[in-house]
Amino acid sequence: MTVIYAILIFCVLILFHEFGHFMAAKLCGVKVNEFSLGMGPAIFKKQKGDTLYSLRVFPIGGYCAMEGEDEDSDDERAFNKKAAWKKAVIVVAGAFMNLVLAVLIMIGISFAAGTSTTTVDTVSEGAPAQLAGIEHGDTIIAIDGKEVDTWSDIYTFISTSEGDTVTLKLLSEEGTERTVVSGLMQDETGRKIIGITPMTEHNLWNSMISGAKNTWIMGVSMLDIMKQLFTGNVAASELSGPVGIVAAVNTTVSLGFVYIAYLTALISLNLAVVNMLPFPALDGGRLVFIILRRITGKAITDEMESKVHFAGILLLFALMIYVTWHDIVRFVLPIFS
């Protein structure tokens, strides 16, 4: 199952990324010579119009090969013949699609988990809430005179209360308002609680807000780690490549589908962020060249840019070898020791 899930994750992420480049290229009138999922020898090929669609053996990459992308071309539909803004759209589209995928997955996770409401679901036996007469279906309107809008408010108001009791304003299922006073108890962490759990609702709009918010938080955390990497606070040996991802999938499979989905969103967002770094051969590096060539005119030729990107590819391969070796030392060798 680890192998199956890992292959599916790789394929989905690559497909979304390259499909972004592909659709943007088509919309901008650029000729796409080949759209491939996977690398290495082809196991399936089909020519449709100007584009060859292929499926290749190794699910560790893919590409959208455009006319005039890395070389001079006289074809009017070539990438190098298009306006700078169209080139920029095509280059950014891959990372954008990975961002969209991450957000969609996080929305799906939020919708599946549901959103906690201010309505009581369960009341623990013998808990202060039960002794106070709080029942299933009661909606908490206010605590100690402070209006409640979300379950987070309930959590905060109770846990930070200063006295030995809290006063709750409730709305019953029948629509009757009443006020009760509940004592407090402590959970295993020492936090004040009254012994209730919330009902959850599966609201698409709330899930969209929550999914986008969680993706943003995940992205900020990712950028912070990259900052620490460049400042030396995080060692390059801590990076993970395909082997590390497979190891993470192996750990996640036993936890359930939601965790696998979360890992997929994390990797997809990581792919979007890393691809937009201003490094040669990456989409971010290509975007930098598009801007520079728009400013400098013909000072930078296609051949010069191609050589810089080729050098970038060599450096990325060197980094990949370094990262893969450390992944093998961390995750593979211990299995045989």
Residues labelled catalytic: 18
Q: What residues have CB less than 8 Å from 62, skipping those under 6 apart?
A: 14, 15, 17, 18, 36, 37, 38, 39, 56
Tokens coding 66: 């455009």
Contact (Cβ atoms closer than 8 angstroms) between residue 100 and residue 208? no
Burial code of 154-184, b = ≥16 C-beta within 10 A, e = fewer? beebbeebeeeebebbbbeeeeeeeebebeb
Q: What residues have CB less than 8 Å from 200, skipping those under 6 apart?
A: 113, 114, 115, 116, 117, 121
Helices (H), the chain: 2-27, 84-113, 128-131, 151-159, 204-231, 242-253, 257-275, 283-296, 302-327, 333-336
Calpha distance 148→141 (Å, rounded)? 5
Burial code of 8-24, b = ≥16 C-beta within 10 A, e = fewer? ebbbebbbbbbbbbbeb
